[in-house]
Amino acid sequence: MTRLAERPRPSRVALFVTCLGDVFYPEVGEATVRLLHRLGIAVDFPRGQTCCGQPAFNAGFRQPAKDVARRNLTLFANAEYIIVPSGSCAAMWRVFYPELFADDPVLGEQAEALAARTYELAEFLVHVVGVERLGAVFHGKVTYHASCHLLRELGVAEEPRRLISQVEGTELVPMDLAEQCCGFGGTFAVKYPEISDAMLQKKIASLKRAGADTLVSCDAGCLMHIAGRLRRQGETIHIMHLAELLNASSATDVQTSKP
Amino acid sequence: MSTHIAGHTAPRGGAEHLGTEGFQEHARQALQDAPLQQALQLLVTNFVPRRVAAMAALGNAEELRTEARAIKERTMARLDEYLEHFATQAQRVGVQVHWAHDAAEARQIITGIAQHIGAHVIVKGKSMATEEIHLNPHLEQHGYEVVETDLGEYIIQLAGETPSHIIAPAIHKTRQQIATLLHEQLGTPYTEVIPEMTQIARRALREQFLRADMGITGANFAIAETGAIVLVTNEGNGRLSSTMPRVHVAVMGMEKIIPRLADLAVMLKVLTNSATGQKISSYVTMLTGPRRAHDLDGPEELHVVIMDNGRSAILRSANREALYCLRCGACLNVCPIYQNIGGHAYGWVYPGPIGAVLTPMFTGLDTAQHLPRASTLCGACREACPVKINIPHLLLNLRQQLVERHDASWAERVLFTLWSWIMRHPRLYEAVIPLAALAQKPLVKQGWLSRLPAPFAGWTQSRDFKAVAARSFRQRWQETLQHERPVMYGTTPEKGLAHE
């Protein structure tokens, strides 16, 4: 995170809520907005946004991915900060947009510039805003699942844990396979369901060993995958996006996605 | 346990490799294979923690990996020059250097040498390069007796199988399976005690070393500066295979070159620590030419077969860095997919993440379509790689090539065309969400779906799928969120908030 120079606290950001967040987990985007508001940061939501292009990109369909991504270059051209509450989608913007447009001098430059202003939520809070304690209250035993793109494409490892450990009433417990893939992998989960599920079962076994009642992660994709299996098995472990946890308070009724 | 060898249901590779087209089916069988699953536990309990501990103990692992990668980058940028320099230096110390364009040519060269020297018995050190060219069956067809002398390789040779791991070829076998195999194949008393089992193999193999007139090994490195080849082994069989028989043949891919002897220090460190978590392997053998006039032992002839076999094409491609691979196996050990399905499911010589990159490039994308796709791109492989090969990005490149060559399913093409259309038209996107919410309604239970239609049915085999939210984020934004305002920072005394 050395690219972050000393800068004044941001006053305005643009939110890229991600298609998964928009359609399946609107409460994550909602929590993100309120969280940023509580920090005194105004949030824009460019209406024309849809997807980052990752599903097509990961499947090898670069042209459709490019077509979708190009819209975001324009749509967010004037945003000082782009906040993405997903490690995976943030990695698409940060790592793969510059690669996708590398052969185009104009778009390539735009993509680079955009990438430099794009942040996943946890890293934005810790490194740009410079806060770890957000006044959240949540009573529970929480463990953290490190989503792969956040951890290994963006190198964000400890930031979410630091944020979690500052939540009042929350005990952060370690999970032995915290940094092992849950087997989601986008279309992988559909194309190779048996392998995907074998990976997921190991994840869930590790989650149970951790003895937590709530699993927190920074990616709706992983959360949906893990929660989908927990629900099928009839487990009672709660699943929560980091934004939801950080926005939880004793006063508000926290919406958790119960499996 | 003892009945699991014969008539095993899981993919076992046989003497011939399985082929990659059946990947799905092989993987399914592997997941159901209890002894295999038991054997694969060793990766998690042993291989991974040993590497992690060893790399941490180095203190400068990160710098070493960066340096090792830089050496590889430099070498590959001028590979032709280094190869020529190596050949010149090797010939100067009496090595006979052979160039093989492809697998057939390499096999021909090696049988030619065997014929020329009148060999009967050939002992082999562990070599993935010879696996790659399917050398053993070829030699056997030509009437030579071939004996693998690495313990793991020996075990799978007795079983009539192929390696399932780059450095631990018999990792797919449980101890009990191996005990039965030795008992049945060698007629020795059944024992599950590991030192006793290794003694049995040792005794059998010592006789073979004495009988052999030719030894074939691979080469972990070839040093351009000195013309030496380097063998990195733990059992001493590499040293015996290369020095006891009259003639030694080393087979290597042309990417094994390193420029200078000094580079070896870096490469060795990252290799052994990554492969087995050892500071150094039990044996590091540097062979500079055959026996000289005053030497007491060593082979009369040393041949080095330098193999292209598709590497030039990789060198010219966007996936050049695949050639940096040292064959340490670390990416296999950490891969959550390899951990679940083992090596044979991949269907060819090189399994795991690096295999998913190399196999399509060596054998053709057509037949190996599954391999680049059967990955979540989690990146654990890249994190473990001693030369930081960006395997997930290479897999993405291969996926792109597959699509460009029209090797994508009809359904997928339609889906992504449709997807792209919707995603480029926000109005349409906004209209589709409530429609989807409506369409799913009869199937939704407490916000989840327990069955999805094809082509998404795979998900709901074992997992529920989240239903489309009744009110999307953008709807919530429209209705409430856009009217909410941030607290004025510094004016609202919010409890515990925002202190640096």
What distance in Å separates the CA atoms of residue A53 and residue A63, rounded to the nearest whole number? 10
- What amino acid is encoded at A23 in this protein? V
Domains of chain B: 2-313 (3.40.50.10420), 426-483 (no CATH)
Chain-wide mean pLDDT for chain B?
93
Q: Which residues in chain B have their CB less than 8 angstroms from residue A197's CB?
A: 461-463
Looking at the partner chain, which of A19, A24, A188 has a beta carbon nearest the beta carbon of B376? A188
pLDDT computed for residue A251 by the predictor: 53
Spatial strand order of the sheet with A42-44 comes to: A42-44, A12-15, A82-84, A118-120
What distance in Å separates the CA atoms of residue A145 and residue A203, rounded to the nearest whole number? 9
Closest by CA position to B118, among listed B261, B297, B307, B300:
B300
CB contact A235 to B (< 8 Å) = no
Cis peptide before B455 (omega within 30 of 0): yes
CB contact A142 to B (< 8 Å) = no
Q: What does the DSSP 8-state code read for residue B3?
A: G
CB contacts < 8 A, A to B, total 240
| SS3 per residue for B33-95 | CHHHHHHHHHHHHHHHHHHHHHHHHHCCHHHHHHHHHHHHHHHHHCHHHHHHHHHHHHHHCCC
pLDDT greater than 70 at residue A3: no
Burial B127-153 (b: 16+ CB within 10 A, else e): bbbbbbbbbbebbeeeebebbbbbbbb
CB contact B383 to A (< 8 Å) = yes
pLDDT greater than 70 at residue B3: no
What's the mean pLDDT in B320-330?
98
In this predicted model, what pLDDT tens digit does every residue of A208-254 receive, in sequence order? 999 999 999 999 999 999 999 999 999 999 999 999 999 998 654 44
pLDDT greater than 60 at residue B319: yes
pLDDT computed for residue B409 by the predictor: 84
* All residues at 6 or more sequence positions from A242 whose CB lies less than 8 Å from its CB, including other chains: A85, A121, A122, A160, A163, A164, A216, A217, A218
pLDDT computed for residue B17 by the predictor: 67
B111, B115, B119, B123 alpha-carbon torsion, rounded to 10°: -10
Burial B156-170 (b: 16+ CB within 10 A, else e): bbbbebbbbbbbbbb
**Count H helices, E strands: chain B?**
23, 12
In this predicted model, what pLDDT tens digit does every residue of B69-107 receive, in sequence order? 999 999 999 999 999 999 999 999 999 999 999 999 999
Beta pairing class for A214-217 and A238-241:
parallel
* All residues at 6 or more sequence positions from B141 whose CB lies less than 8 Å from its CB, including other chains: none
Interchain pair B436, A23: CB under 8 A: yes
In this predicted model, what pLDDT tens digit does every residue of B231-263 receive, in sequence order? 999 999 999 999 999 999 999 999 999 999 999
What's the mean pLDDT in A96-113?
97
* All residues at 6 or more sequence positions from B392 whose CB lies less than 8 Å from its CB, including other chains: B375, B377, B378, B379, B381, B382
CB contact A184 to B (< 8 Å) = yes
Closest by CA position to A15, among listed A31, A3, A33:
A33
* Residue B413 main-chain phi, psi, to 5 deg: -60, -50
**Res. B488 pLDDT band, cuts 50 70 90:** low
Closest by CA position to B367, among listed B359, B377, B378:
B359
Q: Which residues in chain A have their CB less than 8 angstroms from residue B398's CB?
A: 60
- The Cα-based distances of B155 to B182, B184, B185 in angstroms read 8, 12, 10
Q: Which residue has the higher pLDDT, B274 or B491?
A: B274
pLDDT computed for residue A194 by the predictor: 97
Copy the structure tokens of residue B8.
């095993």
Looking at the partner chain, which of A22, A29, A190 has a beta carbon nearest the beta carbon of B459? A190
Looking at the partner chain, which of B399, B462, B466 has a beta carbon nearest the beta carbon of A197? B462
pLDDT computed for residue B354 by the predictor: 98
Copy the structure tokens of residue A23.
């359609």
Q: Is B246 exposed, middle or buried (0-12, 13-18, 19+ CB in 10 A)?
A: middle
The packing angle between helices A220-233 and A193-210, to 10°, is 80
Å from A224 to nearest chain B CA? 7
- The Cα-based distances of A189 to A87, A196, A210, B172, B454 in angstroms read 18, 5, 24, 25, 13
pLDDT greater than 90 at residue A59: yes
In this predicted model, what pLDDT tens digit does every residue of B353-378 receive, in sequence order? 999 999 999 999 888 999 999 999 99
- The Cα-based distances of B365 to B22, B51, B360 in angstroms read 14, 32, 5
pLDDT greater than 60 at residue B481: yes
B170 neighbors B157 (Cβ within 8 angstroms): no
pLDDT computed for residue B387 by the predictor: 98
What's the mean pLDDT in A52-66?
96
What distance in Å separates the CA atoms of residue B350 and residue B343, rounded to the nearest whole number? 8
pLDDT greater than 90 at residue B499: no
pLDDT greater than 90 at residue A124: yes
CA B180 to chain centre: 28
Q: What does the DSSP 8-state code read for residue B176?
A: H
pLDDT greater than 50 at residue B407: yes
pLDDT computed for residue B1 by the predictor: 30
Copy the structure tokens of residue B141.
């067809």
**Res. B492 pLDDT band, cuts 50 70 90:** very low
Q: Which residues in chain A have their CB less than 8 angstroms from residue B36's CB?
A: none
What's the mean pLDDT in A192-218?
97
Q: Which residues in chain A have their CB less than 8 angstroms from residue B417's CB?
A: 64
What distance in Å separates the CA atoms of residue A173 and residue A4, rounded to the nearest whole number? 30
CB contact B445 to A (< 8 Å) = no
Closest by CA position to A257, among listed A238, A242, A244, A243:
A238
A94, A96, A98, A100 alpha-carbon torsion, rounded to 10°: -160
Q: Which residues in chain A have their CB less than 8 angstroms from residue B11's CB?
A: none
What's the mean pLDDT in B27-37?
96
Burial A142-174 (b: 16+ CB within 10 A, else e): bbbbbbbbbbbbbebeebbbebbebbbebebee
pLDDT greater than 60 at residue B51: yes
* All residues at 6 or more sequence positions from A132 whose CB lies less than 8 Å from its CB, including other chains: A125, A126, A162, A163, A166
Q: Is B203 exposed, middle or buried (0-12, 13-18, 19+ CB in 10 A)?
A: exposed
In this predicted model, what pLDDT tens digit does every residue of A134-179 receive, in sequence order? 999 999 999 999 999 999 999 999 999 999 999 999 999 999 999 9
Domains of chain A: 12-127 (3.40.50), 132-246 (3.40.50)
* Residue B88 main-chain phi, psi, to 5 deg: -60, -50
- Size of chain A in residues: 259
What distance in Å separates the CA atoms of residue B123 and residue B114, rounded to the nearest whole number? 12
Handedness of CA B72, B75, B78, B83 (dihedral sign): negative
pLDDT greater than 90 at residue B187: yes
**Res. B317 pLDDT band, cuts 50 70 90:** very high
B131 neighbors B162 (Cβ within 8 angstroms): yes
**Count H helices, E strands: chain A?**
14, 8
pLDDT greater than 70 at residue B13: no
* All residues at 6 or more sequence positions from B206 whose CB lies less than 8 Å from its CB, including other chains: none
Which stretches of B234-293 are assigned E, i.e. beta strand? Answer: 247-253, 257-258, 283-287
Mutate which: B29, B369, B463, B478, vs A, most A CBs within 10 A: B463
Handedness of CA B121, B126, B127, B131 (dihedral sign): positive
CB contact A51 to B (< 8 Å) = yes
A110 neighbors A77 (Cβ within 8 angstroms): yes
What distance in Å separates the CA atoms of residue A249 and residue A38, rounded to the nearest whole number? 12
Question: Model pTM?
Answer: 0.94
A87 neighbors A20 (Cβ within 8 angstroms): no
**Res. A7 pLDDT band, cuts 50 70 90:** low
Interchain pair B424, A38: CB under 8 A: no
